[in-house]
Amino acid sequence: MGARQSFEMSPGSDEIILITLDGSPPPEEFEALGHLDLAIRSAETAAEAMTAAHESHPALILLDAPHSNSACVELVERLARITPKTSLIVLGAADIQPFEDTVRRAGARAFLPRPVDRSHLVETVEETLANRTRGPASAIAVALRQALDRGEFRLHYQPIVDVATERAVGAEALLRWNSPTLGDVPPLRFIPLAEQMDLIEAIDEWVTYAACYQVLKWREQELGPQWVAINISLSGLGGGRLLSSIKGTLASARAPSRSLMLEISEGALLDRSKEIADTLEDLKRVGVRLAVDEFGTAKSAIEYLKQVPFDSLKIDRLFLRGVPHDDEDCELVANIIRMAHGLGFRVIGEGVENRRQLEFLRTHGCDLAQGHYFSPPLPNDEFVAYAARN
Ligand code: C2E
Ligand code: MG
C-alpha closest to that of 87 among 32, 30, 126, 42:
126
In DSSP notation, 152-201 reads -EEEEEEEEEETTT--EEEEEEEEEEEETTTEEE-HHHHHHHHHHTT-HH
Tell me the residues surrounding ligand 2 (ion) with CB < 5 Å.
231, 263, 293
> How many Cα atoms sit within 13 Å of 80 on the Cβ side?
26
Substitution site in 76, 160, 231 for ligand 1 pocket (most atoms within 8 Å of beta carbon): 231
Report d(CA 214, CA 380) in Å as an integer: 8
| CA-nearest residue, atom 3 of ligand 1 | 294
For the stretch 146-167, pLDDT in tens is 999 899 999 999 999 999 999 9
Query: pLDDT digits over 62-75, tens only?
Result: 887 756 777 777 77
Q: When comparing pLDDT for 195 and 355, which is higher?
A: 355
Which run of H or of E encompasses 1? none
The ligand with the least distance to the CA atom of 74 is 1
Counting from 1 in the atom list of ligand 1, the atom nearest the Cα of 352 is 18
Confidence of residue 175 (pLDDT cuts 50, 70, 90): very high
CA of 313 to the centre of ligand 2 (A): 11
DSSP state letter for 35: G
368: Cα separation from own chain's centroid: 20
Contact 187, 176 (CB under 8 A): yes
Residue 8 pLDDT grade (very low, low, confident, very high; cuts 50, 70, 90): very low
- Calculated CA dihedral for residues 66, 36, 129, 134, nearest 10 degrees: 180
| Protein residue with its CA nearest to atom 22 in ligand 1 | 351
pLDDT digits (tens, 9 = 90+) for 48-65: 777 777 776 677 888 877
- Give the binding-site residues of ligand 1, using a 6 Å CB cut-off: 81, 158, 174-175, 186-188, 191, 207, 230-233, 263, 293-294, 317, 351-353, 370-372, 377
Q: Which residues contact 158 (CB under 8 A, 6 or more apart)?
A: 171, 172, 174, 370, 375, 376, 377, 378
Share of the chain above pLDDT 70, in %: 86
**What pLDDT band is residue 201 in, cutting at 50, 70 and 90?**
confident
CA distance 262 to 252: 18
Taking alpha carbons only, the member of 271, 260, 199 closest to residue 234 is 271
Neighbours of 332 (CB within 10 A): 16
> Could you give the 3-state DSSP secondary structure of residue 326?
coil
Q: Given a cut of 80, is residue 379 above it in pLDDT? A: yes
pLDDT of residue 82: 64
Q: Which of 216-225, 298-307, 338-347 has the lowest mean pLDDT?
A: 298-307
Q: pLDDT band for 94, please (50, 70, 90 cuts).
A: low
Half-sphere exposure of 209 (CA within 13 A, CB side): 11
- DSSP assignment of 88-149, as one string? EEEE--SSHHHHHHHHHHTT-SEEEPSSPPHHHHHHHHHHHHHHHHH---SHHHHHHHHHTT
Q: Which atom of ligand 1 is the closest one to the Cα of 236?
A: 44
Pick the atom of ligand 1 nearest to 155's CA: 41
Kindly calculate the radius of gyration of the chain based on its CA atoms and give it in whole angstroms.
21
251-300 pLDDT, tens digit each? 888 889 999 999 998 877 777 778 888 889 999 999 999 999 988 876 66
